Amino acid sequence: MSTSKPQPKASPKDRARAMRLYKALEKAWPEATCELNAVSPHELLIATILSAQSTDVAVNAATPALFDAFKTPAEFADVEPEDIQPYIATIGLYRNKSKAVVESMRRIVNEYGGEVPATMEDLLTLRGVARKTANVVLGNAFGINEGVVVDTHVMRLAWRLGLSDHEGSAAKIERDLMALFPKPRWTMLSHLLVFHGRYACKARNCVCGGHPVCKQYGIASRCSCAK
């Protein structure tokens, strides 16, 4: 059974507006990228698992020592979750995450020859990996645009910027974004929205003010920044 989402439809007018917004975000955030530090697919996978309900800053503070102690999927697979817990104890839900990391690495070693799989279907068989995590790995480790990463920032910005009316539903928001933007842009789209959400159009204490993106594309009834 395929795990790919069928591409929904969007009107030419809505797609044109979406691309104007995309170009405005590109201009505003030329440095936008994945902010999890990793040098290999398995490191990115682990960092993304650890980032659930945590911050990239907290994850990046913990992973250098972790990745220095355990350098390959096989080294993670050979230990118990308790062995990596001291390295990630500063990260929320670290006990459950340690189990997810070790079990996912064991499956990678046993089922995929020690290499992180590069398909949505295979990634979803790993413990701790849902569609968002799989999209992060596919887009940033392999350059594969299978979908759009929808985190809390993307959910908020999709609503505020009028890209989706499905407030609070990651799956529906992802389908809306996939319909509006060309497939080759999906990975970068999430980076641009995340940067705008982290550094300007925040959930609280929003500092957009006269930011050109919010001013031109924000919907005033959804975000006071656009007023």
Indicate which residue of 78, 83, 122, 151 is catalytic.
151
CA 79 from centre of chain:
27
How many whole angstroms separate alpha carbon 147 and alpha carbon 5? 8
Q: Are 72 and 42 in contact (CB under 8 A)?
A: yes
How many helices (H) and strands (E) are present in the chain, helices listed first?
12, 0
Reduced to 3 DSSP states, what percent helix, strand and coil does the chain have, rounded to the nearest 5? 60, 0, 40
One-character DSSP codes across 91-122: STTHHHHHHHHHHHHHHHHHHHTTS---SHHH
b/e 65-91 (16+ beta carbons within 10 angstroms → b): ebbeebeebeebbebebeebbebbeeb
**Residues 6 or more apart from 144 whose CB is under 8 A from it?**
118, 138
5 is catalytic: no
9 is catalytic: no
Catalytic machinery residues = 132, 151
